[in-house]
């Protein structure tokens, strides 16, 4: 595991964008696994800048997003599809037919999950997966559980997650209670993973994910077993990390 600590949110976002850019330069037709949430927003801004500078192009990239709320259409500004179009896809040259996000309005949700997993496989898997982390240690929408969830599936969101997400909705009863998410296995099958976190409120979760025991109660802890994972943090989120042999710290 590598841990890169940026000076601040801006610096860590630049470092994250540079890693994504390097992936695209080395393999222009990369399959990128992408994340929502507020954490990666500045990383997307930097990627747009690198695109505008003509440093990178997304024309051959395939984008597969981690998750989507069940019951929100793509026209709903709170859906992850809308969010991704708004903050990223609409500003770069990724082909619309190469963008995949689970359909939270699918009539047959189980089938939607299976088809999503199949399409990742048909694209030969994810080259680089970008992750954020929930306050309870979730990745994608894989909530704390008694076991690690497998492949893409539907999930009931935790009260804590619903509360955290309510900041984006006008009324509490509008906040979705369910979602489709790639499973932990889908994520762990990615060839390379970067996890981004910033701010003091993520410090304890990051400490547990990196230094704690590998436990489905903190889903991100399984990343300790991934052969190519990099945590990209700001100083505040990184404040509690303890050095250990399996961690390469870069500041």
Q: Which residues bind ligand GLP (CB under 6 A)?
A: 35-39, 66-67, 132-134, 140-141, 161
Least Å distance, CB 218 to ligand GLP, is 14
Residue 166 CA, distance from chain mean position: 19
Catalytic site residue from 143, 149, 234, 236? 143
Shortest distance (Å) from residue 34 CB to ligand GLP: 10
How many other C-beta atoms can be found within 10 angstroms of the C-beta atom of residue 136? 17
In degrees rounded to 5, what are phi and psi of residue 59? Answer: -65, -25
Beta strands 128-131 and 31-34 are parallel
Rounded distance between C-alpha atoms, residue 133 and residue 220, angstroms: 7
138 is catalytic: yes
User: At its nearest, how many Å lie between ligand GLP and the CB of residue 105?
Assistant: 17
Cα angle for residues 180, 138, 244 (degrees, 5° grid): 145
Beta pairing class for 67-69 and 178-181: antiparallel
d(CA 13, CA 199): 13
Q: How far is the CB of 80 from ligand GLP (least distance, A)?
A: 8
Q: Give the residue with the Cβ less far from ligand GLP, 104 or 140.
A: 140
Q: How far is the CB of 221 from ligand GLP (least distance, A)?
A: 15
Which residues on adjacent β-strands are paired with residue 153?
A: 181
Cα torsion 218, 215, 35, 112: sign: negative
Whether 136 is catalytic is yes
Which listed residue (103, 112, 117, 138) is catalytic?
138
Going by C-alpha positions, the residue among 116, 98, 110 that lies closest to residue 186 is: 116
135 in catalytic set = no
Question: Which candidate in 67, 149, 234, 236 is catalytic?
Answer: 67
Return the active site residues.
Answer: 67, 136, 138, 143
């Amino acid at each position: 595991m590598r841990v890169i600590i940026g000076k601040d949110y801006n610096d860590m976002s630049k470092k994250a964008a540079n890693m994504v850019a390097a992936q695209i330069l080395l393999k222009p037709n990369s399959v990128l696994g992408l994340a929502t949430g507020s954490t990666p927003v500045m990383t997307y801004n930097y990627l747009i800048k690198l695109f505008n500078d003509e440093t990178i192009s997304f024309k051959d990239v395939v984008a597969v997003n981690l998750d989507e709320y069940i019951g929100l259409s793509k026209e709903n500004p709170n859906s992850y599809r809308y969010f991704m179009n708004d903050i990223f896809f609409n500003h770069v040259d990724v082909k619309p037919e190469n963008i995949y996000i689970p359909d939270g309005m699918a009539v047959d949700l189980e089938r939607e999950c299976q088809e999503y997993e199949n399409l990742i496989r048909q694209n030969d898997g994810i080259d680089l997966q970008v992750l954020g982390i929930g306050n309870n240690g979730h990745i994608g929408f894989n909530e704390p559980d008694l076991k690690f969830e497998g492949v893409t599936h539907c999930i009931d969101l935790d009260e804590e997650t619903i509360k955290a997400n309510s900041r984006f909705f006008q009324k509490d009863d509008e906040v979705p209670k369910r979602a489709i998410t790639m499973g932990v296995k889908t994520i762990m099958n990615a060839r390379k993973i970067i996890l981004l976190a910033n701010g003091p409120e993520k410090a304890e979760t990051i400490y547990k994910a990196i230094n704690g025991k590998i436990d489905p109660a903190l889903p991100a802890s399984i990343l300790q077993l991934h052969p190519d994972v990099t945590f990209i943090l700001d100083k505040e989120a990184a404040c509690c990390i303890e050095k250990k042999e399996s961690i390469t710290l870069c500041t």
